[in-house]
């Protein structure tokens, strides 16, 4: 899912005298420096290198296949044949994942490691950007890793479901049995005509025909449209379509299933669009309790408070974001917007200085106040002292 929140980025590129990619170790990087996190760090690096072969090798297709076929009622032989067929698609699955990340210039980062009796859970955030490097949103992938460092399944928070659940629905195109399709889709309201719709949807999804999949989804009976499976699938498909369909899909999800904790990350965009900033912030707080608190979750809360004009809470959230991940640039610029809104020169200049130190750069004070959004600083004594140190 694209996080379409406007990120309050200043046009700082022409203000910098120098820029280095190096930075001090952040709080979250320190938290990730334990042995259990090594697998998650390795996985993030594989995603960043777009190493399809290495990612494919990490997926335990037997474990994933068992998860996909659970509850399908297949005879043992058919289940083995099904999993054998899945194994042949492992490289294609890995390639598809890498293609999606590359298309949005995604950068993966390990943000949390959880110890489990069977291994660990590794939560990886994908930071998306456009070709100019401007933020285009975020994704969180929650990987289940066994004691042999193999991936058994993973939860895609922008879709509110596990990969195994998604694959189970795709499997409907390969089965003809009405009872089995009922099991796959969790409803008892299927008849012969609807079986064709289910199979057509699966084929459209496998072909990445999102307009066709969206149109096919609308053909399901009302009983199935009331399910969370249908609502989340509609959002996942609409993400790849126009803004109007995406917003409408989010509205439907919020109206019918908005109280479900696992769906709160999906609804952040919706609450922002509706200017329901209190609900947006509550959704983020639920996500933090259930999944992870990191620099981005706090930055998004900062945005919510900022647009609600609660500048005290906005400032605290952005400062918490920087505390957790000092190398996330966006909260610095939002702090400067907060400073401008409150005419707080001390905050603006302290934030600019922190940015300089963190990213080993220096602002040109004359170019800075030539920009309209910084002209309010020009005659402030604090700015004159700050500028003198840089001339």
Going by the DSSP 8-state scheme, the letter that residue 25 receives in this structure is: P
pLDDT score of 1 more than 50: no
pLDDT score of 21 more than 80: no
Q: Mean of the pLDDT values across residues 230-240?
A: 91
145 pairs with which residues across the strands? Answer: 120, 151
pLDDT score of 5 more than 70: no
Q: Mean of the pLDDT values across residues 331-352?
A: 97
Q: Mean of the pLDDT values across residues 185-204?
A: 70
pLDDT score of 166 more than 50: yes
pLDDT in tens, 276-315: 999 999 999 999 999 999 999 999 999 999 999 999 999 9
pLDDT score of 73 more than 90: no
Q: Contact at 8 Å (CB) between 390 and 364? A: yes
pLDDT in tens, 82-130: 888 888 888 988 998 999 899 999 999 999 999 999 999 999 999 999 8
User: Which of residues 93 and 177 earns the better pLDDT score?
Assistant: 93
Predicted pLDDT of residue 249: 96
pLDDT score of 225 more than 60: yes
Q: Mean of the pLDDT values across residues 170-198?
A: 61
Predicted pLDDT of residue 11: 32
Identify the CA nearest to 42 among candidates 145, 131, 152, 139.
Answer: 145
Pairing of strands 119-129, 107-116: antiparallel
CATH pick for 32-186 out of 1.10.3470, 3.10.450, 3.30.1490, 2.40.170:
3.10.450
Query: Which band of pLDDT confidence, cut at 50, 70 and 90, is reported for residue 191?
Result: low
pLDDT in tens, 380-390: 999 999 999 98
CA–centroid distance for 198 within its chain: 28
Identify the CA nearest to 359 among candidates 28, 27, 19.
Answer: 19
- pTM, two decimal places: 0.85
Q: What tokens were used for 156?
A: 């895609």
Domain boundaries, given as residue ranges, for the chain: 1-24+296-391, 32-186
Predicted pLDDT of residue 31: 54
Predicted pLDDT of residue 125: 97
The sign of the CA dihedral 298, 300, 306, 308 is negative
Strands (E), the chain: 107-116, 119-129, 135-146, 151-156, 161-162
94 CB burial (10 A radius; 0-12, 13-18, 19+): buried
Query: Which band of pLDDT confidence, cut at 50, 70 and 90, is reported for residue 177?
Result: low
- Tell me the pLDDT of the chain averaged across its residues: 86
Is 146 strand, coil or helix?
strand
Predicted pLDDT of residue 194: 72
Q: Mean of the pLDDT values across residues 46-74?
A: 90
Predicted pLDDT of residue 196: 81
Going by the DSSP 8-state scheme, the letter that residue 173 receives in this structure is: G
| Sequence-distant (≥ 6) Cβ neighbours of residue 152 within 8 angstroms | 60, 63, 64, 67, 144, 145, 146
As a whole-number percent, the residues of the chain with pLDDT over 70 amount to 84
Predicted pLDDT of residue 175: 56
Q: Mean of the pLDDT values across residues 146-173?
A: 86
Query: Which band of pLDDT confidence, cut at 50, 70 and 90, is reported for residue 206?
Result: confident
Instruction: Let me know if domain 1-24+296-391 sits in CATH 1.25.40.
Output: yes
Q: What tokens were used for 5?
A: 């929140």
Predicted pLDDT of residue 16: 41
User: Which of residues 149 and 74 earns the better pLDDT score?
Assistant: 149
Predicted pLDDT of residue 180: 56
Cα–Cα dist 128/134, whole Å: 8
DSSP per position, 336-373: HHHHHHHT-HHHHHHHHHHHHHHHT--B-HHHHHHSGG
As a whole-number percent, the residues of the chain with pLDDT over 90 amount to 63
User: Which of residues 28 and 139 earns the better pLDDT score?
Assistant: 139
Q: Residue 70 to residues 166, 189, 199: CA-CA distances in angstroms?
A: 13, 21, 20
Predicted pLDDT of residue 19: 34
Q: Mean of the pLDDT values across residues 341-348?
A: 97
């Amino acid at each position: 899912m694209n996080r379409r929140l406007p990120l309050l980025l200043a046009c700082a590129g022409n203000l910098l005298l120098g820029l280095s990619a190096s930075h001090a170790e952040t709080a979250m990087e320190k938290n990730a420096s334990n042995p259990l996190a090594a697998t998650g760090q390795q996985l993030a690096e594989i995603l960043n290198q777009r190493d399809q072969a290495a990612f494919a090798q990490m997926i335990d297709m037997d474990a994933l296949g068992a998860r996909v076929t659970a509850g399908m009622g297949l005879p043992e032989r058919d289940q083995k044949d099904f999993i054998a067929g899945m194994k042949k698609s492992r490289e294609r699955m890995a390639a598809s994942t890498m293609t999606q990340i590359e298309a949005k210039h995604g950068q993966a980062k390990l943000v949390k490691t959880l110890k489990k009796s069977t291994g660990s859970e590794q939560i990886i955030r994908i930071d998306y950007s456009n070709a100019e490097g401007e933020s285009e949103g975020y994704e969180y992938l929650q990987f289940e890793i066994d004691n042999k460092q193999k991936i058994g399944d993973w939860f895609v928070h922008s879709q509110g479901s596990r990969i195994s659940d998604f694959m189970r629905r795709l499997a409907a195109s390969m089965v003809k049995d009405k009872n089995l399709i009922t099991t796959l889709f969790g409803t008892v309201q299927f008849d012969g005509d609807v079986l064709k719709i289910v199979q057509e949807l699966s084929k459209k999804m496998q072909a990445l025909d999102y307009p066709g999949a969206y149109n096919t989804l609308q053909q399901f009976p009302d009983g199935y449209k009331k399910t969370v499976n249908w609502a989340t699938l509609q959002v996942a498909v609409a993400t790849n379509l126009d803004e109007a369909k995406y917003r409408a899909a989010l509205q439907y999800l919020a109206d019918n299933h908005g109280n479900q904790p696992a769906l709160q990350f999906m609804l952040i965009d919706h609450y922002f669009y509706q200017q329901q900033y209190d609900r947006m912030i509550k959704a983020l707080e639920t996500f933090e309790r259930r999944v992870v608190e990191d620099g981005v979750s706090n930055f998004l809360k900062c945005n919510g408070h900022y647009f609600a004009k609660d500048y005290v809470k906005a400032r605290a959230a952005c400062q918490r974001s920087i505390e957790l991940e000092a190398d996330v640039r966006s909260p610095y610029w939002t702090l400067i917007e907060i400073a401008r809104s409150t005419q707080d020169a001390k905050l603006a200049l302290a934030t600019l200085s922190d940015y300089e130190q963190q990213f080993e750069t220096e602002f040109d004070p004359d170019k800075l106040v030539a920009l309209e959004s910084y002209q309010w600083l020009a005659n402030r004594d604090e700015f004159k002292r700050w500028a003198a140190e840089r001339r």
